[in-house]
């Protein structure tokens, strides 16, 4: 009866102990959740790596675009310098500044510092989140190691409690019970060893995964560091390009102002030259007017001389008539012989009157021409040529009349000796008058030719200066239009680049929002996993707290049974 009672008590305690211990069905979901958590962490690390790779590719594209823009700006700067060298030699010293004098302004440095600080903060936050995930995985591994150690201690405690501290009879009873229930103990030991092996394998895999995650974290950190360096270099190149654009704009503005000043100076110079030319023309006109007045005075003097000669001629004619009246008495006998001669003399007188009429007409014409001469300076040469022709005709007529008079004087040499002397004096006077008229005409013609040559030279010089100034103005206008077109092109390129960077910033902000949502989801998942880990820890603590109570009950029962046997 006592043996059966003790056996039943042992079976009851064994059943309670087996109920308190967790079975394989309880440990399998924990291990499965742990593997899922590890897989989830690996997937997150892979996703972070892919995102970092994509970010690096985007940074590389931005760097390539910045390099292309830098090359374009260099090419534009070279073209600008070449154009300025061809057009304006004064701007060579300005455009040949060394590149070593390049410096960044303070506000650009502050912007770069702020941008780098924001990027460093973002990367630090990512690294902190990854470290937090690693620390959580390390904590889970430590918990699993603690559980494994606890299970090992439990197994060693069960073995020690079963073997040590028994008397001979208790050992015999234990041996009998062991023989009867050996299969149950063997199954429990095998199950515990299998669980221990599984936990060791899981621990090894977790450690391996931790090492891999640490390696990946270091690689990701290096990649992020390289990406940050590349982004810093790209931003620095961008700022250099912006500063060069600003310098080019300032250079273009200075060149434009300088060209405007030069244009104003050229215009002022041109106005001064025009005023000087006007003054010279006025002086020439005054000289011409003085010459015309002098010529009119000379003509008036000539007219006075002609009038004096005509008066002398009239006086001579009167004297001739008186002599003729005096000789009329002497010529009564010679009337018949000299009738024909008188008829010829009348004809010569008529010709002489015609010549005098022509001379009067010429005088009136010259007076009219002198009155209109101020208005018609350009027609002076033609009128002078006409006057020359008329003078030559008059001289020819006078010569013909002279010849006829000579013939008449030869016929009347004996009777009209005094008339012949007067005619000789008249011829000498007319010859001197004709010589003086010829000399005056030649002087006037030479002066007119000199004036026309001077006028032509001045007009050619004026046209040359006007053409040079027009060519300068056209070249300056074309250069200004080219500069304006280049300014418009640069402004358009800058607007395109700014729009492109704005679109990229918008795209990055959208990606940031998407990553922020993913991060919130990951945080929620992490919180759920933390709650599961907390639940598992509570269950393990409950198991740990229940184990010593069961062991104390077993020891008490065994002690009571031994005492009763004794």
Task: Enter the pTM of the model.
Answer: 0.23
Between 564 and 350, the more confident residue is 350
CB-based burial of residue 9 (10 Å sphere; 0-12 exposed, 13-18 middle, 19+ buried)?
Answer: middle
Q: What is the pLDDT of residue 99?
A: 36
Decide if pLDDT at 411 tops 80. no
Same domain, yes or no: 453 and 498: no
Q: What is the pLDDT of residue 180?
A: 47
State whether the Cα torsion 197-199-202-207 is positive or negative: negative
Residue 272 has pLDDT above 80, yes or no: yes
Long-range contacts of 385-390 (CB under 8 A, 24+ apart): 387/362, 387/441, 388/441, 390/358, 390/362
Q: What is the mean pLDDT of residues 245-266?
A: 80
Instruction: Select from 454, 477, 500 the last residue of a domain.
Output: 477
Q: Which domain holds residue 410?
A: 273-477
- 59 membership: H or E segment, kind and range: helix 24-87
pLDDT at 104: 46
Range in 96-105, 144-153, 172-181, 217-226 with the lowest mean pLDDT: 96-105
Least confident of 10-24, 114-128, 139-153, 286-300: 10-24
Residue 345 shares a structural domain with residue 434: yes
pLDDT of residue 556: 62
What is the structure's pLDDT at 98? 37
> Domain check: are 194 and 49 in the same one?
yes
Three-class SS of residue 1? coil
Per-residue pLDDT at 24 exceeds 60: no
The stretch 313-318 carries a mean pLDDT of: 74
The Cα 259–Cα 239 span in angstroms is 30
Range 531-555 average pLDDT: 68
What average pLDDT score do residues 5-34 get?
56
For residue 231, count CB atoms less than 10 angstroms from its CB and return exposed for 0-12, middle for 13-18, buried for 19 or more.
buried
- At residue 497, the pLDDT reads 78
Q: What is the pLDDT of residue 48?
A: 66
Give the pLDDT mean for 22-30. 54
Work out the average pLDDT over 8-30: 54
Query: Which pLDDT belongs to residue 339?
Result: 64
Which of residues 37 and 563 earns the better pLDDT score? 37
Contact by Cβ (8 Å): 153, 196: no
Same domain, 313 and 440: yes
**Of the spans 150-154, 380-384, 524-528, which averages the highest pLDDT?**
524-528
- The 10 Å CB-count burial string (b at 16+, else e) for 280-305 is eeeeeeeebeeeeeebbeebeebeee
67 & 192 share domain = yes
Q: What is the pLDDT of residues 325-347, one digit of tens each?
A: 765 665 676 656 556 666 766 77
Contact 210, 138 (CB under 8 A): yes
What is the reported pLDDT for 20?
46
Residue 257 has pLDDT above 80, yes or no: yes
- Do 243 and 347 have their domain in common? no
pLDDT tens readout for residues 81-132: 665 555 544 444 444 443 333 344 565 556 666 766 776 677 777 667 767 7
- Is the domain of 306 the same as that of 161? no
From 408, 421, 428, 366, select the one nearest 391 (Cα to Cα).
366
Q: What is the pLDDT of residue 93?
A: 43
User: Does 565 have pLDDT greater than 60?
Assistant: no
Other Cβ atoms less than 10 A from the Cβ of 419: the count is 20
Q: Determine the average pLDDT of the residues in 222-250.
A: 75
One domain for residues 45 and 6? yes
Alpha helices in 164-181 (DSSP H): 168-180
Same domain, 452 and 539: no
SS3 (DSSP) at 333: coil
> What pLDDT band is residue 518 in, cutting at 50, 70 and 90?
confident
Q: Higher model confidence: residue 541 or residue 25?
A: 541
CA-based radius of gyration for the chain? 68
Mean pLDDT of the chain: 68
Q: Out of 171-180, 273-282, 308-317, 465-474, which region has the weakest mean confidence (pLDDT)?
A: 171-180
Contacts of 153 (CB under 8 A, 6+ apart): none
CA atoms within 13 A on the CB side of 136: 20
d(CA 149, CA 429): 162
End residue of a domain, out of 477, 498, 516: 477
3-state helix, strand, coil in the chain (%, to 5): 95, 0, 5
Asked if 119 contacts 228 with a C-beta cutoff of 8 angstroms, the reply is: yes
What whole-number percentage of the chain has pLDDT above 70? 50
DSSP string of 77-136, one letter each residue: HHHHHHHHHHH-GGGHHHHT--GGG----HHHHHHHHHHHHHHHHHHHHHHHHHHHHHHH
Cβ atoms of 59 and 227 closer than 8 Å: yes
Task: Return the pLDDT at 245.
Answer: 74
What does each C-alpha distance from 122 to 60, 116, 119, 343 come to in angstroms? 19, 10, 5, 139
State how far the Cα of 358 lies from the Cα of 352, in Å rounded to an integer.
10
User: What's the token pair of residue 174?
Assistant: 């234990």
Q: Report the alpha-carbon distance of residue 477 to residue 457 in Å, rounded.
A: 30
Q: What is the model's pLDDT at position 381?
A: 60
Provide the token pair at 313. Answer: 């001629």
Band of residue 534 on the pLDDT scale cut at 50, 70, 90: confident
pLDDT exceeds 70 at position 247: yes
DSSP string, 114-127: HHHHHHHHHHHHHH
pLDDT value, residue 92: 41
Of the ranges 80-84, 274-278, 397-401, 550-554, which is most confident?
Answer: 274-278
pLDDT of 275 > 80? The answer is yes
| Number of domains within the chain | 2
Over range 307-336, report the average pLDDT. 70
Rounded-to-integer distance, Cα 559 and Cα 552, Å: 10
Residue 256 and residue 220 share a domain: yes
pLDDT at 286 over 50: yes
Q: pLDDT value at position 47?
A: 74
Reported residue count of the chain is 566
DSSP classification of residue 464: H
Domain's final residue, options 477, 495, 512:
477
Q: Are 311 and 356 in contact (CB under 8 A)?
A: no
Query: How far is 316 from 322, CA to CA, in rounded Å?
Result: 10
Over residues 368-373, mean pLDDT:
68
DSSP 8-state secondary structure symbol assigned to residue 332: S
Residue 109 sits in the same domain as residue 258: yes
Q: Is 308 exposed, middle or buried (0-12, 13-18, 19+ CB in 10 A)?
A: exposed
Q: What angle do CA 406, 409, 412 make, to 5 degrees?
A: 155
178 and 46 in one domain? yes
């Amino acid at each position: 009866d006592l043996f059966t009672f003790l056996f039943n008590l042992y079976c009851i305690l064994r059943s309670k102990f087996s109920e308190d211990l967790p079975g394989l069905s309880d440990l399998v979901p924990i291990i499965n959740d742990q593997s899922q958590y590890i897989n989830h962490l690996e997937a997150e690390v892979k996703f972070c790596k892919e995102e970092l790779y994509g970010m690096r590719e985007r940074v590389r594209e931005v760097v390539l675009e910045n390099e292309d823009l830098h090359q374009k700006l260099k090419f534009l700067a070279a073209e600008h310098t070449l154009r300025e060298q061809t057009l304006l030699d004064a701007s060579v010293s300005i455009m040949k500044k060394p590149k070593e004098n390049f410096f960044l302004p303070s506000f650009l440095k502050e912007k770069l510092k702020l941008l780098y600080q924001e990027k460093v903060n973002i990367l630090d936050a990512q690294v902190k989140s990854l470290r937090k995930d690693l620390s959580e995985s390390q904590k889970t591994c430590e918990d699993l190691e603690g559980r494994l150690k606890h299970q090992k201690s439990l197994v060693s405690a069960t073995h020690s409690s079963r073997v040590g501290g028994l008397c001979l009879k208790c050992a015999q009873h234990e041996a009998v019970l062991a023989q009867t229930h050996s299969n149950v103990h063997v199954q429990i030991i095998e199950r515990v060893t299998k669980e221990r092996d599984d936990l060791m394998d899981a621990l090894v895999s977790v450690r391996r995964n931790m090492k891999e995650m640490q390696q990946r974290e270091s690689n990701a950190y290096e990649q992020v560091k390289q990406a940050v360096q590349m982004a810093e270099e790209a931003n620095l190149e961008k700022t250099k390009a912006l500063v060069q654009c600003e310098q080019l704009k300032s250079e273009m503005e200075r060149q434009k102002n300088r060209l405007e000043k030069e244009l104003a100076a050229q215009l002022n110079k041109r106005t001064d030259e025009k005023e000087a030319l006007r003054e010279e023309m006025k002086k020439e006109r005054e000289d011409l007017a003085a010459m015309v007045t002098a010529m009119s005075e000379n003509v008036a003097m000539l007219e006075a001389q002609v009038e004096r000669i005509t008066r002398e001629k009239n006086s001579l004619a009167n004297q001739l008539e008186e002599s003729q009246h005096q000789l009329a008495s002497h010529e009564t006998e010679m009337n018949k012989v000299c009738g024909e001669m008188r008829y010829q003399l009348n004809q010569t007188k008529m010709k002489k009157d015609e010549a005098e009429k022509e001379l009067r007409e010429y005088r009136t014409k010259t007076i009219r021409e002198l009155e209109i001469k101020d208005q018609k300076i350009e027609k002076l040469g033609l009128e002078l040529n006409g006057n020359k022709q008329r003078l030559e005709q008059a001289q020819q007529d006078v010569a013909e009349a002279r010849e006829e008079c000579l013939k008449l004087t030869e016929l009347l040499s004996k009777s009209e000796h005094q008339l012949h002397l007067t005619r000789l004096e008249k011829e000498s006077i007319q010859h001197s008058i004709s010589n003086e008229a010829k000399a005056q005409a030649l002087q006037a013609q030479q002066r007119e030719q000199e004036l026309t040559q001077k006028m032509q030279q001045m007009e050619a010089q004026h046209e040359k200066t006007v053409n040079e100034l027009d060519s300068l103005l056209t070249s300056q206008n074309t250069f200004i239009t080219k500069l304006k077109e280049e300014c418009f092109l640069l402004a358009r390129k800058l607007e395109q680049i700014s729009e492109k960077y704005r679109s990229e910033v918008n795209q990055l902000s959208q990606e940031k929002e998407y990553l922020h949502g993913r991060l919130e989801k990951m945080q929620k998942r992490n919180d759920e996993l933390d709650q599961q880990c907390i639940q598992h820890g509570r269950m393990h603590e409950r198991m740990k707290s229940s184990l010593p109570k069961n062991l104390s009950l077993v020891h008490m029962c065994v002690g009571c049974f031994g005492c009763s046997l004794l």
